[in-house]
């Protein structure tokens, strides 16, 4: 292959390092106005009245918009349970309620940002406060305080898995390990806060230039809320400063379009710009779901797993967002990549008055993997077995059945990934065969030794995981691409139109490489037209590790179809191609039986730590991560994704202590919510890129951007246990939490 598998320079590299690339906050138009949003800052209340008169009378204010100005006052990716603006005068049931502090109440449009902010602060809202539910377990069982009274329950999603006879299996188990685990909230902390420019374009369309993850879904939700035909709404994505799932749900898209549209109806045809501050960003977009997980696993003396029982509760905050999809993945992954004959899982997504939660890198996988992998490591200790050996005895292989009663798609490489990671980390794997699995951990020459008299204790931990590619569980998976081949006697240019959002992951470079490879030209002859709903077909979301897989197949199909026309002397040759992924099926409501995903990525990690038992500080010495990506389209980008995922997972595991109290945010800025800096990253990250081709992936590629995140936290917890003898069942492992675990703080 001439382009696939090569570390070509990113197509956006020069623009980003020189500052020429423009993000949504960098765009300006003549005579533009500015918008500010009034947030609820109440966790649970009924709006009795909104007083906007003083704001409207302030010189320089063009308009104030409230719920009565929204034609269809609802939106939501998985269900339309959220008002665009909370307040009176809306047909949406119970739209007069606020359910978290980030609910949006009113929009102020003014001549300057300063005037808009001043007017926003002049708006007065009369509230009737309601009881606040912040404990998801209490919310699940509370039938008196309902966040959405029309639903009759605070539980809005419940998945079940029933495989085999769990109780009989536990009765025959030689060892049973029980655990109660909690995973924390995490802030996406992307570089670029939410920003956008709205206007009426030359064709009369309501247009928003924003940062998101799915242009066509943004278009659908805007059109629905405004009661407009799809072709009257246009969404454009410029450069995007990070996402990690945090831009998958709405933030400013609908309200920006609403302001522009309503102004135009008043004869005020002016662009409107908004830029959130970092504090507004942390307040206004969703976070990673915190989970409560209660589980017990049983095994025989030889290490063979016989049963797993798991109960999960996801705190979704006031609205659903992508909780149903995130919960599905956690439901599948809470029993790990292991062959367990008897499984019982009950998983719930629950409304509370905490911050809303949704998609975040890993999409439910990190939460499930933390419980599953910690259980495996604790079982290994109880059975006096090596943690790699017990995994090789139980790991899913080609043809084995998942907890949902169906096999993984062909191309399973989990045993090889575990073995190769273990070998790189200093294990000797004597046998990879399930019945004869044998592994011995040997000290690496560069491994620090524990000094009995020292407060610095060293340890190593191991964990593994598998990650879905795609939305899963019956969601229709499709991706459009258009290819136009231009030239005379030879191909001079290949123009690819594709809607994939470039959120920093390098997908536009991958699309260019795919087009060049399929057309047999150099990358310099490929030109991309991207992320504009008027000229690009629906690509689906850049989430769930799906876009390399989906876009690669779509672009490959479009170019091949265009080449057929080119060779038939049709020039320029234009072809539209829709790639449809293999079918998946939803969880059966009673048994959970399903074909959940069309492809997976496989990962294992070994982590070495140094724990200071006097200060509680944990230093990451070395992270060894083996990731099967099927085919590395661009190896340098793959390694960058691995390194980035490890550092972000490090923040999740050790530092990022997101605090809420009674529904109010306590860590709303980077001075109180600490994220990793260059001084915090692990001393060494050793990425091992494995390439076991996926049978239906483009050139064998799988998705990989999320994989390294999943096993990181349980690997660190296992390493800390190896160093100190203490198991931690929740994180982040801040110095205070570590010292409490060591018994040095009351």
* Whether the predicted pLDDT of 409 surpasses 90: yes
| Confidence (pLDDT) at 56 | 98
pLDDT classification of 270: cutoffs 50, 70, 90: very high
What is d(CA 112, CA 110) in angstroms, rounded to the nearest whole number?
A: 5
pLDDT digits over 81-122, tens only?
999 999 999 888 899 999 999 999 999 999 999 999 999 999
pLDDT in tens, 556-610: 999 999 999 999 999 999 999 999 999 999 999 999 999 999 999 999 999 999 9
Q: At 435, is the pLDDT very low, low, confident or very high (cuts 50, 70, 90)? A: confident
Report whether pLDDT(432) > 90: no
Q: Give 287-399+413-472+588-741's CATH code, choosing from 1.10.287.130, 3.30.365.10, 2.60.40.10, 3.40.640.10.
A: 3.30.365.10
Band (pLDDT 50/70/90 cuts) for residue 489 is: confident
Q: How many residues can be counted in the chain?
A: 746
For the segment 162-205, what is each residue's pLDDT rounded down to a tens digit? 999 999 999 999 999 999 999 999 999 999 999 999 999 999 99
CATH for 33-130+194-275 is 3.90.1170.50
Mean pLDDT value of segment 140-148: 96
Q: Where are the domains of the chain?
A: 33-130+194-275, 287-399+413-472+588-741, 478-580
pLDDT number for residue 170: 98
Is-same-fold flag (33-130+194-275; 287-399+413-472+588-741)?
no
- Quick check: 447 pLDDT over 90? no
CA end-to-end span of the chain: 61
Q: List Cα–Cα distances, 241 to 113, 188, 343, 466, in angstroms.
A: 22, 12, 41, 27
451 band by pLDDT with thresholds 50, 70 and 90: low
Report percent pLDDT > 90 for the chain.
95
Q: Top-level CATH class of 478-580? A: alpha beta
- Tell me the mean pLDDT in the region 374-382: 98
% of residues, the chain, pLDDT over 70: 99
Q: Dump pLDDT digits (tens) for 37-67.
A: 999 999 999 999 999 999 999 999 999 999 9
* pLDDT band at residue 18 using 50, 70 and 90 as cut-offs: very high
For residues 661-690, average pLDDT: 96
DSSP string across 666-735? S--STTTS----TTTS-S-EEEEEE----TTSGGG----SSGGGTTHHHHHHHHHHHHHS---SB----H
Distance of CA 262 to the CA centre of its chain: 33
The mean pLDDT value of the chain amounts to 96
Nearest one of 65, 69, 26 to 197, comparing CA atoms? 26
């Amino acid at each position: 292959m001439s382009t696939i598998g090569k570390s070509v320079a990113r197509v956006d590299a020069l623009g980003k390092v020189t500052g020429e690339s423009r993000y949504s906050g960098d765009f300006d138009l003549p005579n533009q106005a500015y918008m500010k949003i009034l947030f609820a800052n109440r966790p649970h209340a009924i709006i009795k009245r909104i007083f906007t008169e003083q704001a409207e009378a302030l010189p320089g204010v063009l308009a104030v918009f409230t719920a009565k100005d929204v034609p269809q006052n609802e939106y939501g990716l998985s269900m339309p349970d959220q008002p665009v603006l909370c307040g009176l005068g809306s047909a949406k049931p119970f739209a007069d309620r606020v359910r978290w502090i980030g609910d949006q109440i009113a929009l102020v449009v003014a001549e300057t940002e300063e005037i808009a902010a001043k007017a926003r602060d002049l708006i007065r809202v009369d509230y009737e406060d309601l009881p606040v539910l912040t404990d998801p377990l209490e919310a699940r069982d509370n039938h008196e305080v309902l966040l959405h009274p029309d639903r009759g329950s605070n539980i809005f999603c419940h998945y079940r898995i029933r495989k085999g006879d769990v109780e009989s299996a536990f009765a025959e188990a030689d060892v049973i390990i029980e655990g109660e685990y909690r995973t924390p909230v995490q802030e996406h902390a992307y570089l670029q806060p939410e920003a956008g420019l709205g206007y009426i374009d030359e064709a009369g369309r309501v247009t928003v230039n924003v940062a998101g993850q799915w242009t066509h879904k943004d278009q659908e939700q805007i059109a629905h809320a405004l009661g407009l035909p799809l072709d009257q709404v246009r969404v454009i994505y410029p450069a995007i400063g990070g996402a990690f799932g945090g831009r998958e749900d709405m933030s400013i898209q609908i309200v920006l379009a609403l302001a522009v549209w309503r102004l135009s109806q008043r004869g005020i045809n002016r662009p409107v710009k908004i830029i959130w501050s970092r504090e507004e960003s942390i307040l206004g977009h969703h976070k990673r779901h915190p989970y409560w997980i209660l589980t017990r696993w049983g095994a025989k003396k030889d290490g063979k797993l016989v049963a797993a029982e798991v109960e999960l509760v996801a705190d979704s905050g006031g609205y659903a967002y992508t909780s149903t999809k995130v919960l599905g993945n956690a439901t599948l992954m809470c029993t790990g990549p292991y062959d367990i004959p008897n499984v019982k899982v009950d998983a719930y997504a629950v409304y509370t008055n905490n911050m809303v939660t949704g998609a975040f890198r890993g999409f439910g996988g990190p939460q499930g993997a933390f419980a599953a992998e910690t259980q495996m490591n604790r079982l290994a200790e109880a059975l006096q077995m090596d943690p790699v050996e017990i995994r090789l005895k139980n790991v899913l292989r080609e043809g084995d059945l998942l907890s949902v009663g169906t096999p993984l798609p062909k191309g399973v490489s989990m045993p090889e990934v575990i073995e190769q990671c273990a070998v790189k980390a200093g294990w000797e794997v004597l046998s990879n065969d399930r019945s004869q699995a044998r592994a011995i951990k040997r000290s690496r020459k560069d491994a620090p030794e524990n000094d009995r008299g020292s407060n610095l204790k060293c340890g190593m931990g191991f964990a593994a995981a598998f990650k879905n590619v795609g939305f899963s569980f019956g969601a229709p998976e499709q991706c459009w691409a258009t290819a136009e081949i231009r030239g005379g006697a030879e191909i001079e240019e290949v123009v690819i139109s594709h809607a994939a959002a470039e959120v920093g992951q390098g997908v536009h470079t991958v699309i260019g490489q795919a087009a060049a490879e399929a057309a047999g030209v150099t990358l310099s002859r490929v030109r991309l037209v991207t992320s504009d709903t008027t000229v690009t077909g629906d690509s689906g979301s850049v989430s769930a590790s799906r876009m390399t897989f989906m876009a690669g197949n779509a672009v490959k199909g479009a170019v091949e179809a265009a080449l057929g026309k080119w060779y038939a002397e049709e020039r320029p040759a234009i072809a539209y191609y829709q790639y449809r992924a293999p079918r998946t099926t939803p969880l059966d409501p009673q048994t959970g039986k399903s074909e959940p995903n069309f492809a997976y990525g496989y990962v294992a990690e070994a982590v070495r730590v140094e724990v200071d038992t006097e200060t509680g500080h944990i230093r990451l010495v070395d992270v060894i991560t083996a990731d099967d990506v099927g085919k590395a389209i661009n190896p340098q980008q793959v390694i960058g994704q691995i390194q980035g995922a490890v550092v972000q997972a490090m923040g999740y595991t050790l530092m990022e202590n997101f605090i809420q109290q009674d529904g109010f945010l306590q860590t709303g800025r980077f001075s109180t919510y600490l994220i990793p800096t260059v001084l915090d990253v692990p001393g060494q990250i050793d990425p091992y890129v494995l390439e076991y081709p996926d049978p239906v992936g483009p050139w064998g590629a799988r998705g990989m951007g999320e994989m390294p995140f999943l096993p990181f936290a349980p690997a660190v917890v296992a390493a800390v246990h190896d160093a100190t003898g203490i198991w931690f069942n929740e994180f982040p492992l801040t110095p205070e939490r570590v010292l409490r675990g060591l018994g040095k703080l009351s």
